[in-house]
């Protein structure tokens, strides 16, 4: 079974079990496929998955880069619309809520990447100091020339990854797949290719907003704040706690958040807490009271009041609207 079949198997399985189960797809390749990266078409996934399965919201334990090559997609990422025509690239990170959307009139490439694939096992191959996928934008748009180049790179990565697949018709049959050294070398080759692709995209299409030298200190402060929020948003709900940890004033922290996101530092923390609440309501078969306790609310009523402010509806209404009965 290839990695692609496993991904599809995960989606199909979710359509057969109760809607209240955890909608999480794990990366567990079976059979002969040995790599932590796989490349396939959205249309391949769609052909092998039910329509209901493609329209559900899922969380993943791996990264996915989804490059739209034709048509107009209406994907959702963390419950926000990500509309995109050809050239739109979406980065889906582990734990995020993703939906391919209801539209089927589009196609593109999917690069499925296991987290440990990004970090080489050998110190001789260590590139971590120069590569941070977490700083890659959630969505960028590539122009026509860039799209042609990106597609060419992706297609070559797909061909190279198929070298070890005995069932693939991409290469003539030979015994390359039997060598452990070959697998290790190809894994490194694919990793370098992925680094090169993502780094080129970041350099070429990065937001000039972040290149303004005058704003870099403020933006660096915001990124530090953002990292702390990811680690502590459940137990740290006060901006003064973050400011004290960072050694700055609440005012300067709020200014950094306003400059980077257009909202206050307090609002940023509340939205992150609200996003986690949405993810749990969709992905977990937990009562609302359990979710409230998990997120640090002393009373379920306090959580419901908070959630209504964030989402404009009650937690149960949110579950119902998103197909979680």
* Domain boundaries, given as residue ranges, for the chain: 3-206, 212-321
| pLDDT (average), residues 202-216 | 63
Instruction: State the fold for domain 212-321.
Output: Arc Repressor Mutant, subunit A (1.10.10)
pLDDT of 267 reads 95
> Does the pLDDT value for residue 6 go beyond 90?
no
Per-residue pLDDT at 10 exceeds 50: no
- Tell which phi-psi region holds residue 127, choosing left (phi > 0), alpha (psi between -120 and 50) or beta: alpha
What pLDDT band is residue 215 in, cutting at 50, 70 and 90? low
**Portion of the chain with pLDDT greater than 70, in percent:** 78
Residue 22 clears pLDDT 60, i.e. is over it? no
Q: Read off the pTM.
A: 0.75
* Cα separation, 227 vs 9, whole angstroms: 34
Per-residue confidence (pLDDT) for residue 320, from 0 to 100: 87
More confident residue, 272 or 131: 272
Q: Looking at the chain, which runs of residues are DSSP E strands?
A: 24-25, 37-41, 58-60, 63-71, 73-77, 80-84, 88-92, 97-99, 106-113, 139-141
More confident position, 142 or 219: 142
Of residues 182, 188, 75, the one with CA closest to residue 139: 75
Q: Which CATH architecture has domain 3-206?
A: Sandwich (2.60)
Return d(Cα 277, Cα 291) in angstroms, integer: 7
Q: Per-residue pLDDT for 2 more than 50?
A: no
pLDDT for residue 146: 94
First to last CA, the chain: 32
Average pLDDT, the chain: 82
């Amino acid at each position: 079974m290839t990695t692609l079949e496993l991904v599809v198997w995960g989606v199909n399985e979710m359509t057969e079990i109760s809607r209240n189960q955890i909608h999480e797809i794990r990366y567990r390749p079976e059979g002969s496929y040995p790599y932590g990266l796989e490349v396939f078409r959205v249309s391949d996934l769609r052909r092998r998955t039910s329509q209901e399965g493609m329209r559900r919201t899922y969380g993943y334990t791996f990264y996915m880069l989804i490059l739209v090559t034709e048509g107009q997609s209406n994907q959702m990422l963390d419950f926000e619309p990500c509309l995109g025509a050809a050239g739109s690239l979406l980065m889906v990170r582990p734990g995020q809520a993703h939906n391919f959307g209801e539209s089927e009139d589009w196609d593109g490439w999917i690069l499925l990447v296991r987290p440990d694939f990004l970090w080489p096992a050998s110190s001789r191959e260590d590139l971590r100091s120069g590569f941070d996928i977490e700083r890659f934008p959630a969505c960028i748009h590539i122009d026509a020339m860039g799209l042609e180049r990106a597609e060419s790179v992706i297609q070559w990565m797909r061909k190279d990854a198929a070298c070890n697949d005995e069932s693939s018709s991409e290469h003539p049959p030979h015994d390359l797949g039997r060598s452990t050294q070959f697998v290790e070398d190809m894994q490194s080759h694919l990793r370098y290719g992925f680094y090169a692709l993502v780094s080129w995209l970041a350099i070429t299409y990065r937001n000039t907003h972040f290149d303004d030298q005058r704003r870099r200190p403020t933006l660096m402060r915001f990124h530090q704040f953002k990292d702390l929020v990811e680690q502590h948003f459940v137990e740290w709900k006060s901006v003064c706690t973050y400011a004290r940890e960072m050694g700055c004033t609440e005012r300067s922290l709020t200014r950094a958040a306003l400059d980077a996101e257009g909202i206050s530092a307090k609002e940023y923390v509340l939205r992150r807490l609200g996003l986690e609440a949405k993810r749990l309501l969709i992905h977990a078969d937990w009562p609302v009271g359990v979710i409230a306790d998990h997120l640090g609310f002393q009373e379920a009523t306090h959580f419901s009041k908070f959630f209504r402010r964030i989402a404009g509806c009650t937690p149960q209404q949110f579950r119902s609207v998103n197909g979680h009965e």
